[in-house]
Chain A
Amino acid sequence: MVELRLPRNSTVGKGQFFPAPAGAKTVRTFKIYRWTPDDDKNPVMDAYEVDLDAIGPMVLDALIHIKNDIDPTLTFRRSCREGICGSCAMNIDGENTLACLKPIKSMEGDIMINPLPHMPIVKDLVSNLDGAYAQLRAIDPWIQADSPPPPDGERRQSIEERAKLDGMWECILCFCCTTSCPSYWWNGDRYLGPAVLLAAYRWIADSRDEHTGDRLDSLEDTFKLYACRTIMNCTQTCPKGLNPAKAIGRIKELQVERKL
């Protein structure tokens, strides 16, 4: 039924405070969501004062510093630290983005860091994206063609055909968009969400793919595709500057085009 309140075990309490070292000049406070499955406690926000002069410019630098030098129990994902792996996606100051691309100085006051919204939590800032990965797998994100490829090389595309993939191949599957989408929050079990629909359109728009109709068939659904209400949170939040809402709009146009 309609849910109006958070479940009781989701209420977030106040956590520990870790003050800055004496003599630190440029101090910023990071308030970070902490939760572990190892005890029965509710999540809390721990506050860490960080000396910005001692670290690099990005939020990820602050997190690594906290983990290395202040509190080794803090858990988060990161790998490339240059916006290409998508693993450091989290909610920073109310916006889903990549910690490694978010400059600390672009924000005022205390900085709140939460995991990606509305996903199950593994621990602290690590959310469980298994469901979203499975949704990606479910749209068959690989080329499907029945004509054999030329014996002496790869399947070819014109420059114009290749250009249609721009704005989509750049997606790093960080799921910042999907987890910012209210439609996904309410119906994430049935709605595919912007990241997966962008990936679906990437293959629909690929001139080498020969299963366009099957792909459109499998998206022809009140929820899978049409639960998108064009709220545009996805496009607004994408740290790679992509436009999933536009790709979703294109899929809907194609659905209409083949019906009328």
Chain B
Amino acid sequence: MNAPVSPRHDVMRSQLGRARGLGSGHSGTGHWIAERVSAATLLPLSGWFVVQMFRLGGADYEDVAKWGGKPLNATMLSALVISSFYHAEVGLQVIVDDYVHGKAHVPAKFGVRFVTGLLGLLGVVAVLKLALGRPASKA
């Protein structure tokens, strides 16, 4: 075991070459701002939402549909849904950057965007349905 076999190097690129790597990606600040701005908008929106939910507690479908039909409420609801999923997307990107390396990195980043985007869209469509659709209700 003692005679050291000269090790086979898979990477012989210089350390400086590796450190410089592909250079700057010229992005990152936008993401950093987005994290903070989406967190900041979520605060008042979720506050509003919690208050509304307390007010609507125990209400029947008719009342909730009427509430959601008001333009202001529908706007606030969509803003909440969009901010939430946008914030989730930006936050999940960070987790992917930290923990998913190698070949899986790029697909994981697109996957996060796709899933959060789709879920956000679903939320917005639901809000629109509530706001614009006429519930076929028996009054």
* B interface: dominant SS: helix
Q: B123 CB to closest chain A CB, in angstroms?
A: 27
CB nearest to A39 among chain B residues? B1
Which residues between 215 and 260 of chain A lie within 8 Å of chain B, taking CB atoms? Answer: 217-227, 229, 252, 255-256, 259-260
> How far, in angstroms, from A133 to B14 measured CA to CA in the complex?
12
Q: Is the CB of A187 within 8 A of B98?
A: yes
The tally of residues in B whose CB lies under 8 Å from a CB in A reads 29
Residue in B26, B33, B98, B100 with the greatest tally of chain A CB atoms within 10 Å: B98
CB nearest to B35 among chain A residues? A226
B72: Cβ under 8 A from any A Cβ: no
Q: Is the CB of A130 within 8 A of B28?
A: no
Q: How large is the interface on A (under 10, 10 to 19, 20 to 34, 35 or more residues)?
A: 35 or more
Which residues in B have their C-beta under 8 angstroms from that of A226? 28-29, 31-32
Q: Is the CB of A256 within 8 A of B16?
A: no
Q: A36 CB to closest chain B CB, in angstroms?
A: 11
Find A186's partner among B16, B21, B99 (CB 8 Å cutoff). B99
> How far, in angstroms, from A220 to B97 measured CA to CA in the complex?
16
Q: Is the CB of B100 within 8 A of A38?
A: no
Asked whether A137 and B16 contact (CB < 8 A) given A1-B104, A38-B4, A223-B97, the answer is yes
Residue in A187, A222, A225, A226 with the greatest tally of chain B CB atoms within 10 Å: A222
> How far, in angstroms, from A154 to B97 measured CA to CA in the complex?
44
Q: A122 CB to closest chain B CB, in angstroms?
A: 13
Which residues between 61 and 103 of chain B lie within 8 Å of chain A, taking CB atoms? Answer: 94, 97-102
> How far, in angstroms, from A134 to B11 measured CA to CA in the complex?
15
> How far, in angstroms, from A152 to B28 measured CA to CA in the complex?
43
> Mind listing 6 A-B residue pairs with CB under 8 Å?
A134-B14, A183-B98, A220-B25, A220-B27, A226-B29, A227-B98
Given A133-B15, A222-B97, 9 more pairs with CB closer than 8 A: A131-B15, A134-B19, A137-B19, A219-B24, A221-B28, A222-B27, A226-B28, A252-B29, A256-B29
Interface residues in chain B, defined as those with a beta carbon under 8 Å from any beta carbon in chain A: 1-2, 4, 14-16, 18-21, 23-33, 94, 97-102, 104
